[in-house]
Amino acid sequence: MPNNLKFYIDGAWVEPATPKTLGVINPATEEEFATISLGSAADVDRAVTAARRAFATYSETPVADRLAILERIIKGFRARLPELARTMTLEMGAPITFATERQATVALFHFEEAARVLANYAFEHRDGAGIIRHEPIGVCGLITPWNWPLNQVASKVAPALATGCTVVLKPSEIAPLSSMILAEIIHEAGVPRGVFNLVNGDGPTVGEAIAAHPDIDMVSFTGSTAAGIRVAKLAADTVKRVAQELGGKSANIILPDADLQRSVIAGVHACYTNGGQNCQSPTRMLIHVSQRDAAIEAARAAVETIRLGDPLDPATTMGPLVSKAQFDKVQDLIQSGIDEGAMLVTGGTGRPAEVNRGYYVRPTVFADVKPEMRIAREEIFGPVLSIMNYETEEEAIEIANDTPFGLAGFVQSKDAERARRVANRIRAGRVYLNGAPFDRRLPFGGYKQSGNGREFGVFGFEEYLEVKAILGYPA
């Protein structure tokens, strides 16, 4: 990419205010394969100034014009989808098949969904003697993570552009290259100058400058709960809107009447999606005590079907974790499970025997996990499953809710009404029944320390709108 060392500000690729670089590491080889610049508060200022100026006119553009922009972005995205997928494989280790079918494809879906919502959305309507208007909130600072580097960018950029907002984006500095390709697509789509801006950088510098900036009206953040707390505190001084999608520790309640073998195997693979680097992964599998042994054997069999290896090989089903820091964190948590007395069913510490480089982790399953253990309480963000036992349905629900997080939940039962009753009592923003697929039309977000606000579909669209009441206008 010719613009690796530049930022996209005010419709052009520009040099950073102060030269400072960072290598991008391929986690499968542990080798640097690209270099980016790290921005500063001065770069954020320049981007915000451009976005503020552009908002005055872009916020007034007709719906038809914004739809046309989205359609051009969608067309450009489709044309470069294989390149985007390969780039994500190189920058964060997602196997190429997964990167193509999920990482890149679902990011495209957000632009398609934003266009669908925009085409039918009533920005103004009568309510009694008044008028209710929905207006773009303004300049939006978007801070995104490395685990779904383009999906999380698209889930914010697409509705922001659709509603008439302008954007300053900081993608993760660990996996920034796919976002830079998206910036090229947006530029080629003819998005007006200043509407979309991208500044690379780290959280303490560029992220904090965005969160605290007085001319940013909204900050949308996806990442760890600790970082989300920092963003919210910085944003509080200017009373800007804050939308957050943070950590998770989702429970998968397999009720005794479910198809145990099928549910456990599906649960293992769901836990290991994206190498376990997935905020809503069902990392706590709750099994009735009478089915403990059968569940352990089913989980062991599921792990044996996983193929680790070169993420550029289409047959690979699990690649490396994103970085050495993440590898070390997961190793520490696996060791804590052993030290605290959980039963190691399969996996464990160290690299898999078949690899000698790369941040690969052995797919790991623990059984007899107790609620107080670290592996049952902390978000691991790696391929580690904790099997926990319960005696009654009530106890299962209590265990599921015994967490500071509340992003997602999972329930398996042959009785749909029973599954629904249990789902109603799980304190989480989204609950999947019996292997239901991920639906990006439906709202996504968390209870408790998993964040606030919602993404996807109409709910995600409305995060970028203010509500105005007009009184006294004759009917």
Q: Is 472 exposed, middle or buried (0-12, 13-18, 19+ CB in 10 A)?
A: exposed
Q: Are 171 and 153 in contact (CB under 8 A)?
A: yes
Same domain, 273 and 221: no
Number of domains in the chain: 2
pTM of the model: 0.97
* Tokens found for residue 284: 């706590």
Same domain, 273 and 172: no
User: Is residue 91 situated within a structural domain?
Assistant: yes
Residue 475: its pLDDT value, please?
84
Same domain, 357 and 235: no
Residue 1: its pLDDT value, please?
62
Chain-centre distance for alpha carbon 30: 24
- Whether 279 sits among the annotated catalytic residues: the reply is yes
User: Is residue 224 situated within a structural domain?
Assistant: yes
Same domain, 240 and 256: no
User: Is residue 445 situated within a structural domain?
Assistant: no
What are the tens digits of pLDDT across the range 387-445?
A: 999 999 999 999 999 999 999 999 999 999 999 999 999 999 999 999 999 898 999 99
What are the tens digits of pLDDT across the range 219-264?
A: 999 999 999 999 999 999 999 999 999 999 999 999 999 999 999 9
Average pLDDT over residues 153-176: 98
Residue 354: its pLDDT value, please?
84
As a whole number of Å, the end-to-end CA separation of the chain is: 56
CATH of the domain at 365: 3.40.309.10
Beta strands in 233-350 (DSSP E): 241-245, 251-254, 284-288, 343-346
Same domain, 52 and 139: yes
User: Is residue 1 situated within a structural domain?
Assistant: no
SS3 174: coil
Q: How far apart are CA 99 and CA 106, in angstroms?
A: 10
Same domain, 393 and 311: yes
Same domain, 235 and 300: no
Considering all CA atoms of the chain, what is the largest pairwise distance in Å, rounded to the nearest integer? 76
- As a whole-number percent, the residues of the chain with pLDDT over 70 amount to 100
* Tokens found for residue 279: 């905020």
Same domain, 153 and 259: no
Same domain, 199 and 259: no
Residue 206: its pLDDT value, please?
98
Residue 346: its pLDDT value, please?
98
User: Is residue 2 situated within a structural domain?
Assistant: no
- Whether 271 sits among the annotated catalytic residues: the reply is no
CATH of the domain at 213: 3.40.605.10
Element (H, E) at 139: strand 139-143
Chain-centre distance for alpha carbon 206: 19
User: Is residue 90 situated within a structural domain?
Assistant: yes
User: Is residue 444 situated within a structural domain?
Assistant: no
Average pLDDT over residues 306-334: 97
Q: How far apart are CA 127 and CA 436, in angstroms?
A: 37
Residue 437: its pLDDT value, please?
92
Residue 233: its pLDDT value, please?
97
* Tokens found for residue 428: 């989480």
Taking each helix axis as running N to C, give the angle between helix 292-304 and helix 260-271, from 0 to 180 degrees, rounded to the nearest 10. Answer: 50
DSSP symbols for 264-292: HHHHHHHHTGGGG--TT---EEEEEGGGH
The residue annotated as part of the active site, out of 173, 245, 455, 463, is 245
User: Is residue 125 situated within a structural domain?
Assistant: yes
| Separate counts of helices (H) and strands (E) for the chain | 16, 22
Same domain, 201 and 344: no
What is residue 318's DSSP assignment?
B
SS3 418: helix
Exposure pattern of 9-37 as b/e (b: 16+ CB <10 Å)?
A: bbbebbebbeeeebebbbbbeeeeebebb
* Tokens found for residue 224: 């760890």
Same domain, 207 and 162: yes
Q: How far apart are CA 292 and CA 330, in angstroms?
A: 25
Average pLDDT over residues 328-352: 97
Q: Which of 147, 97, 171, 88 is nearest to 383 (CA)?
A: 147
Q: How far apart are CA 39 and CA 169, in angstroms?
A: 12
Expressed as residue numbers, the domain containing 345 is 251-439
Q: Are 175 and 8 in contact (CB under 8 A)?
A: no
Same domain, 211 and 266: no
The residue annotated as part of the active site, out of 279, 455, 462, 463, is 279
Mean pLDDT over the full length of the chain: 97
